Amino acid sequence: MKTLVLFFMMLFSAYSFSKTPTTTLDKGDIKCKDIAYQAEVDGYKSGSVCFYPSDSLLKAYERYRALNVNNDSGKYLLKDIHPMKDLKDLMDDGNIEINYSWLNKSELKVVMLFPGGITTILFKENVSGTEVTDIDDPD
């Protein structure tokens, strides 16, 4: 039993350590860090966390969309969203499904279901700005 507990503690510890940001990218006032994932545990998952200082959630959403308009993360996002209004959008003849879920007035979760995997974008507003976590999880 001790061995099993120790094994799970080591596994959790390695997994937690592998999730620490590894590289930093500066996009003007937006600061981003890549999230390192462990291939043995997470497969081909990748992601980043960006901080939009002084931006409301809606402003960060608008800026995120504009910065990513040339990739799947941005080009399929709706131009206009309404606070606290969950919705589902189907694109590309129903092959792409995008779900907008408000967790509360300062958190929006966008889940994009593609034929090749899932992209999850979490917008979380706080007093100093908005944090945007973008996770790509291919099939």
pLDDT tens digits, residue range 91-126? 878 899 999 999 999 999 999 999 989 999 999 999
* Among 31-40, 52-61, 63-72, the least confident range: 31-40
Provide the residue ranges of all domains of the chain, joining segments of one domain with +.
19-138
Task: Grade residue 7 by pLDDT with cuts at 50, 70 and 90.
Answer: very low
C-alpha dihedral, 23 to 108 to 90 to 87, nearest 10°: 180
- Amino acid found at 32: C
> How far apart are alpha carbons 9 and 30 in whole angstroms?
35
Q: What is the pLDDT of residues 12-42, one digit of tens each?
A: 334 433 444 444 555 679 999 988 776 665 6
